[in-house]
Structures are given as structure tokens and as C-alpha cells.
Amino acid sequence: MVQVSLARGRHAVVIGGSMAGLLTARILVDYFEQVTILECDRFPTKSPQPRKGVPQCKQLHILLTRGRQIMEELFPGLETELIDADAAVLDMGADVAWLNPFGWAARFPSG
């Protein structure tokens, strides 16, 4: 097991406030007195909206299980919030039809 020891710093700056930036900032608040996110877009204040800096956001996105677990640890209650905001819960193995160069992937409950 690798142990990381970080001295507590004063001010960390994260450039970009999308998935990577927000998750990075969440980790850094445990180690820095102040964390500032520099984001060139304005975030929507009400319901989620597409924004210029993340052109791929209009595309359907799937959050895989390990990512969901990690994000739930970092932001307790996030999963419930996402479901309340109409995120669909899927079993990737059973519910997603996947066409690849070898044909349709086998469907099976993956958990």
C-alpha cells in the first residue's frame, strides 16, 4: 500500500471547473486552506444547461460504477441527487445494447 503524506498548503488553484477540476478541488480542500477554481464559463444557476467550454455535454454520458462509488464518497448524497434529477440507473451489461466490429455484445446482468 502506498501512503502519501502531504503537508498542508495555503492556496491551491485549479484551472477548469468541469468533472476533473471539481473532483480535484474536492480532494485539495482536505490539504489546502483555500482552493480557487478558475473557470472561463459561467455555470448555470438553475437547471443544468449546456455551456461553451464543455461541448461534449450535449452528448449522453454514462457514469460507470467505480466512478459513482468514488464520487459518492467525495460528495455524500450525490447519487440520490442525480436520480432525483432524472438520471437513469442502468446495468451496463444488461441494459445497454453495444454494437462493435464483432456484432452485438452479449447481454448479461453485470451488477
Ligand X SMILES: Cc1cc2nc3c(=O)[nH]c(=O)nc-3n(C[C@H](O)[C@H](O)[C@H](O)COP(=O)(O)OP(=O)(O)OC[C@H]3O[C@@H](n4cnc5c(N)ncnc54)[C@H](O)[C@@H]3O)c2cc1C
Which residues does 94 contact at the CB level (< 8 Å), separation at least 6? 107, 108, 109, 110
Q: Which three cell numbers stand for residue 91?
A: 446495468
Stretch of 34-42, 68-76, 79-87, 98-106 lying at the interface with ligand X (CB under 6 A) = 34-42
By DSSP bridging, strand 99-100 and strand 32-38 are: unpaired
Stretch of 5-13, 48-56, 87-95, 100-108 lying at the interface with ligand X (CB under 6 A) = 48-56
Shortest approach of ligand X to residue 5 CB, angstroms? Answer: 27
3 binds ligand X, rule: CB under 6 A: no
Residue 57 near residue 50, CB atoms below 8 Å: yes
Q: Contact with ligand X (CB under 6 A): which of 10, 46, 61, 66?
A: 61
Shortest approach of ligand X to residue 27 CB, angstroms? Answer: 14
> Nearest-CA neighbor of 39 among 21, 55, 62?
21
Binding site for ligand X (CB under 6 A): 15-21, 38-41, 53-54, 56, 59, 61-62
